Amino acid sequence: MMSKEVFLGVDVGSVSINVVLIDADNEVVYSSYTRTEGQPLLSLKEALALMMKSAGDFRICGVGTTGSGRQLAGLLLGADIVKNEITAHATATVTYHPDVRTIFEIGGQDSKIIIIRNQMVVDFAMNTICAAGTGSFLDHQAERLKIPISEFGDLALRATKSVRIAGRCTVFAESDMIAKQQYGFSKPEIIRGLCEALVRNYINNLGRGRDLEPPYVFQGGVAANKGIVAAFEQEMGHPIIIPKYYNVMGAIGAAILAREHIAATGRSTAYRGAAALKVEFVPTSFICNGCANMCEVVKVMMDSETIAIWGDKCGKWSSSVIVA
């Protein structure tokens, strides 16, 4: 009996690593979510080891990586295609929800909005500077309020009224929450107010000047928060679609792109397989003084050989390395 052909997608973010396997019909046959705990490469190897142990009898025919750590993950795995988060998220969403016109995505430490027309990305915006409204901020507030993050959204829905919280900045939001607690507002009311504030901040920052049309799809880890979902529906005045695999859509998109790439090129995958677990990298960085950009250039060594360089805007350094 032949092993089932599947395609591997990996999304390496600042907080988590998402791994999925899809079949030729884009059906997810395996998925996992692993916290990086500040060690993305080690966590990626652990996630791969878990996949190899528990995924079943599959043959990986293509690999795609995305996320902030996509370049290094691509080298580790022997990826066939490396794509940015916007392309990966949009690809997955359009595949499962072809009528989508606006994608809301909130992850662990960043957020993005993607405008889709005729199944094509026509505009997008990302917020990677401020953590207000991201998963890590909500985790912190849940911990401070001594509420399990899994119960955060349900508590927000229990509030019969909300209280206005300043959501433009994490510092102001936290200070305002503390003040509202001192005024005697209940935890559900404060949490509901926080959810509404964070959604207002998200729309004002990323959606300003953009034509946000339904159908709306909300994905990323924060989509599990019912309070945030309710706040989005209230703000937009329209139902919000939550995909079945809302927390691994980037990885799914990378896998779909890998499948399409293999089909278009007719090449065999470069996937390293179990050998990826033994690969050791040594990354270093330096500032290029070649022009006013002063780019921080990252150089990756393996077995005393430079295998990759990136970070330069002009390509002076990255184009000097040819990876086999």
Residue 253 confidence (pLDDT) above 90: yes
Mean pLDDT, rounded, for 75-98: 95
5-19, 65-79, 95-109, 170-184 — which is least confidently predicted? 170-184
Please give the DSSP secondary-structure letter assigned to residue 300: E
Tell me, what's the pLDDT at 100?
Answer: 98
* pLDDT exceeds cutoff 50 at 132: yes
User: What H or E segment, with its residue span, contains residue 73?
Assistant: helix 70-77
pLDDT surpasses 90 at 177: no
Q: Taking the model in full, what pTM does it have?
A: 0.86
| CATH class, 4-90+249-278 region | alpha beta
Do residues 97 and 241 lie in contact, with contact meaning Cβ atoms separated by under 8 Å?
yes
132-164 CB burial, b ≥16 within 10 A, e <16? bbbbbbbeebbeeeebebeebbebbeebeebbe
Instruction: Name the residue with higher pLDDT: 151 or 192.
Output: 192
- Largest Cα separation within the chain, whole Å, is 68
Q: What are phi and psi of 4, to 5 degrees?
A: -75, 135
**What is the mean pLDDT of the segment spanning 263-274?**
94
The better pLDDT of the pair 21, 315 is held by 21
Least confident of 122-131, 274-283, 288-297: 122-131
Q: Does domain 98-242 match CATH 3.30.420.40?
A: yes
Task: Answer yes or no: are the C-beta atoms of 80 and 323 closer than 8 Å.
Answer: no
User: Which residue intervals of the chain bear CATH 3.30.420.40?
Assistant: 4-90+249-278, 98-242
Residue 69: pLDDT over 50: yes
